[in-house]
Amino acid sequence: MAKVKIGVVGCGGIANQKHFPAMKRNEDLCEIVAFCDIIPERAEKACAEFGAKGAKWYEDYHDLLANPDVEVVHVCTPNVSHSEITIAAFEAKKHVYVEKPMSHSTIEAEKMVAAWKKSGMQFTVGYQNRFRAEVQNLKKACEKGELGEIYYAKAHAIRRKAVPTWGVFPNKALQGGGPLIDIGTHALDITLWCMDNYDVESISGQVFYKLGRLHGAEEGNIFGPWDPDTYEVEDSAMGFIKMRNGAVINLEAAWAINMLESKEAATTLCGTLGGAEIHSGMSYAVNELIYNRSRNGQLMQETITPAGQVAYFAGGGGGEEGTIDNRQWLEAIQKGTSPLVKPEQALVVTRILDNIYVAAEKNAEVRF
């Protein structure tokens, strides 16, 4: 079977830490034939390091889309540009893998889904945390009904003080938000996916601009001090999501908050037959999945500790789960099957995150 020919738009951190290494490890299935970045030196460097023979680099993504060799486009740019590039790629009849979140706004995400459906091409979003061993284990348990009816959950995306100081993360105009849509999106995705519940009734929440703009608060940040004078996005946010069947989800997200326990890309599920917690983040040396239930008249817990650790907290995601994510995406294109991360599911995640911002701004509950 012929290798899938890929073009990458955006040759910054996420491309170099996740996409390029994953495709390199899956070079039996793909080759990168085109690179694009608004900083041409980055595209040229990536092309020399990761490009197939004869690969080209561009400064304008329209030129990449015009390249007939490109079959698939990976969009690895700041959030606010996801929609524009993705829609143009579908119009050019390319398959699209867009980095998380799908978009910074519901309106733009809906445009992306509409363009995808019209194109007849494949579409997925970069939620590689679904492929972690402990998340896969929990998903299977939920599918088998081992937890019973899941009626309460927590989606955890808490860093004690780990504001990313590279790229455009503090820039609201380019990112659309801070930790809520950057890391909260992963925690919410795995929570909704394991619950298999995307039927939202209402949303409320609060967004905090406290530590990010406070001089002196940047001390101790593990990625080095940020500039409070140019920090534009929230430093933490909390959401409350009510589903139509009565289940509820608490979502917590922070790059900087005075809280000891740092859980990131983690979830807690409470069901009628048992519960489960994924422990991952900077407070944990190894990711853990813990089931809790009653058995033989006593309370008990079962801990599952996968080998290895996620290469995720430095902005990466290029570890084993990134490679598996990339491989199943390539196979879906070759075989004409559906990728694991469905666009409709990613759209719900964006709608929820977007409406937490709206609810906080209006100081009111938002109904779907």
pLDDT at res. 368: 87
pTM of the model: 0.94
Res. 83 pLDDT band, cuts 50 70 90 = very high
Indicate the DSSP class of residue 290.
E
For 229-283, the pLDDT digits (tens) are 999 999 999 999 999 999 999 999 999 999 999 999 999 999 999 999 999 999 9
Q: Which domains does the chain have, with CATH numbers?
A: 4-125 (3.40.50.720), 131-306+349-367 (3.30.360.10)
Whether the per-residue pLDDT at 309 is higher than 50: the answer is no
For 338-348, the pLDDT digits (tens) are 999 999 999 99
Whether the per-residue pLDDT at 123 is higher than 60: the answer is yes
10 Å CB burial of residue 216 (0-12, 13-18, 19+) is exposed
Rounded-to-integer distance, Cα 81 and Cα 84, Å: 6
Share of the chain above pLDDT 70, in %: 96
Q: What are phi and psi of 7, to 5 degrees?
A: -120, 135
Q: Which residues pair with 279 in a beta bridge?
A: 288
CB 280 within 8 A of CB 265: yes
Instruction: Give the total residue count for the chain.
Output: 368
| Nearest residue to 357 (alpha-carbon basis) of 197, 162, 175 | 175
- The vertex-305 CA angle with 190 and 320, nearest 5°, equals 60
Q: Please give the mean pLDDT across all residues of the chain.
A: 95
Element (H, E) at 340: none
36, 81, 181, 216, 343 from 329: Cα distances, Å: 21, 22, 23, 44, 13
CB 303 within 8 A of CB 289: yes
107, 180, 188, 210, 306 from 207: Cα distances, Å: 21, 9, 16, 9, 34
Whether the per-residue pLDDT at 317 is higher than 70: the answer is no
Which residue spans within 195-235 are E strands per DSSP? Answer: 200-208
For 198-242, the pLDDT digits (tens) are 999 999 999 999 999 999 999 999 999 999 999 999 999 999 999
Res. 314 pLDDT band, cuts 50 70 90 = very low
